[in-house]
Structure 1
Amino acid sequence: MDPLHSHLDPIEMTTHHLSFVLALFAVPCGSQAHCASHLPGTLLAETPEGSAPLEALFNTSVIQDILKDSKCTGIRFYTVDRTSNPNSGSLAAIGIDKDGKEINGWLGAKAYHQYSGLYGNEIGVEDLSGSRVSDGCIRYNAHDSSFAAGFSRTDVEDLLRSGCGALWLTLSETKFLMQAAIVENGKIRSMGSGSDYERMSGEPCPITCGEKPGYYLKMK
């Protein structure tokens, strides 16, 4: 069975070399920028049709903060905040435990991290509560089918060993690929291809969450 079209165990996230890009950048790992919750006008990449694929960046400091919880066995990403603009939309990240439940801490904690834009070499990330992310999933689902995908702790840590400074994610249809890259003068350069630089998530599960945009958010 094609792993992309099967319902996987929350932790058994298959890896392939295809298309949702978690690209890692050699950018400074200082304090994360907290900016507006919409993507900037500059596109990081374009599809042949001229519209940008959905993409997001996360500093390694943000990723490492998620991974520092000893219960964390992976990171889940949600599509959020789609509007009528085809180039809109973003992703939010949250750690998950061995049962696939989200590690959101105490009630009201802002454990979700949403990409808000690339400003030169600075990556904007906003810390949000579960209710804010749920609202973002609903907004996305009003204009497009919403998705969630997960990467195992091992896969994330393997790519972080490349020495990059951030993770870049690009959604193509239902595919989430991780790829190592660097940011120079506000532009992205791939660090290479193959298993040292790329991973593919086999878990949107279900493939389309459009009927229930809060599907994962209810798995606390």
Structure 2
Amino acid sequence: MGRREKRSAMTGRTHLAVGAAAAMLAAGPAAGLTGLAVAAAGGAAGSVLPDLDVRDTAHPWRERLTRAGAAALLVGALVYDAVSGASLAREAMARGLGPLLLGAVGLVALACAARLSAHRSFSHSLLALAGFAAATYLVCPPLAPYLALGFATHLALDALTYRSLRLFWPLPHGFSARLCKTGGVVDACCLVAALAVIALSCWRALS
């Protein structure tokens, strides 16, 4: 991967933290620890979905670690929710088998399409955001808005960098604000701010 490619995106850890922080802010302290855990997990999962199209990076272990972190947050939140009363599981099962299967098939199909797409094309589009949100809603409605928000934060952060993303795919035109690069000051500031929001959200929920 060339130097320009390396500088064309925020780091995975920044996407993960900002997605989780935005979702926790949206949930608010009234959601309690369980609600915040679900929100953070949904936001984190949504924040890594656009980069399913990344197949070759300068540091592939970082991509794997970011995805593993999002998966761990999601599994942890679901386990915590189950221990706390399984509200997500009850709501999902109450919708019936049909929506669950349709949503699951939709998620798999969208993930495959994102994986096979060129970087910053379909997977970084508003169409993909809507598709993942709709499929998630069929499987687990409470998780869908947080996943969509995390996905949106990824698109917003990448739009600040040097490489264009095709928000309105399949239209060919892309957008790039060309304001920052990977590992730069803006990237670091976003990461620190997101971690501060996460810590503050947890503190407010506990107080």
Q: Shorter-chain TM-score: which interval?
A: under 0.3
Larger radius of gyration: 2
State the TM-score, normalizing by the size of structure 1: 0.27
Larger helix fraction of residues: 2
State the TM-score, normalizing by the size of structure 2: 0.28
Larger strand fraction of residues: 1
